[in-house]
Amino acid sequence: MKNRLKVLRAERDWSQGDLADRLEVSRQSVNAIETGRYDPSLPLAFKIAELFDLSIEDIFTSPSKES
């Protein structure tokens, strides 16, 4: 699933490890989500959205809307 995680992380000057620590997941998880190789569960997606103070739709692109 496409997402803006890398951009949002870069805006805050966070490394993947920094974001992983804040989300309490592994750096591998952040990398897999960022590159679209893994779609997070709803609870983790909410956690990501709350961390950036955005809605899930502001971060993740619905697969049905991907061109």
Partner 1 sequence: MHKSPALRRYNYTVLGLSLAYMGALFGIVALFRTRPPHGTLAYAAAILPALPLVGIFLAWGRYLTDEPDEYIRMLTIRQTLIATGFMLSATTIWGFLESFGLAVHIPAYAAGILWFAGLMLGGCVNIFAVRTGRS
Least spacing, CB of residue 45 vs partner 1, in Å: 11
DSSP 36-60: TSSPPPHHHHHHHHHHTTS-HHHHB
State the minimum distance, in angstroms, from the CB of residue 42 to partner 1: 11
Q: How many CB atoms lie within 10 A of CB 65?
A: 8
Q: Which is nearer to partner 1, 11 or 46 (CB)?
A: 46
Where along the sequence are the contacts to partner 1 (CB under 8 A)?
24-29, 32-33, 35, 37-38, 40-41, 44
Q: Which C-beta is closer to partner 1: that of 11 or that of 17?
A: 17
SS3 23: helix
